[in-house]
Amino acid sequence: MKKPLIGVTGRRFRLSLLHAADPRYGDRCVDTALADFATRIAAVGGLPVQLSFDAEAEAACDWLSGVVISGGQDVHPACWGGDTSVVGDLDPRANPSVHDVDRDAYEIALVRAALERGIPVLGVCRGLQVLNVALGGTLIPDLPAGTVSHLSAETAPSDGATDHVVTFADGSLAWDLFGEQMTTNSWHHQAVDRCGSGLVVTGRTSDGVVEAVELPGSPVLGVQWHPEWMVSADPALTWLVQAASTHLAERSHIEIERCTP
């Protein structure tokens, strides 16, 4: 059987930001997706591919069997009704940590196209927030300091600090994957506020911050931590590849039936 094709989103920035890049090409852009995703997806039987913003969302989903919406910069508040006055006029091609409206638009379109086709989706950190926004949800723009540290100073990879324990809802997909509780890494300062249409919260830290969401009845999972940067085994990417394999098998069966006289 064919391996499921898993699309992974990423960033776009100028080559001049890379150390030792040839200055003759410095104004050209490079598309990047974290190699940790590719390595771990391949290790559990998936075929990872990087998705450029130019890989039109609906057309890409004609080929993909699974999607990872990866981490990165904040989602622009215009996408979810937030305060746009706090956004500076900075170029994401020159600074890949600032808002990127092109990335926002692409990933929101990709989520919606994948959901329409029943393609499994894993949202990671920012990706969870994109998933929520794509379904009409809102975000907390900046988490206040509290009893749990969400914007860690730890270097990746990391299994996280002892204060960052996520508790999962009994009977949820997250419970099945991670158990009742799991200590995770954490590098975020925004979080889900109001859930988008159909999304349910299935994991929180002790301070109430949303750490996992699901779309019941659909192969959709959002996690606020980084499974690709956990030192210990994290089953999130294994789940995605298995769900993508099931989707691929079902789609192949339908295509065979259509071609059978």
* pLDDT tens, residue by residue, 55-76: 999 999 999 999 999 999 999 9
Q: What's the pLDDT at 258?
A: 65
Q: What is the mean pLDDT of the chain?
A: 96
Total number of domains constituting the chain: 1
Domain of residue 111, CATH code: 3.40.50.880
Out of 107, 211, 214, 228, the active site residue is: 228
Pairing state between β 220-223 and 210-214: antiparallel
pTM score of the predicted model: 0.96
Q: Whole-angstrom Cα distance, residue 130 to residue 126?
A: 6
Active site residue 259: no
CA nearest neighbour of 245 among 41, 107, 52:
41
79 belongs to the catalytic site:
no
Are 128 and 222 in contact by the 8 Å Cβ rule? The answer is yes
- Tens of pLDDT, residues 119-153: 999 999 999 999 999 999 999 999 999 999 999 99
Question: Annotated catalytic residue: which of 125, 150, 214, 247?
Answer: 125
Banded model confidence at residue 86, pLDDT cuts 50, 70, 90? confident
**For residue 252, what are the domain limits?**
5-259
| Backbone φ and ψ of 8, nearest 5° | -120, 125
Distance, CA of 81 to CA of 137 (rounded, Å): 9
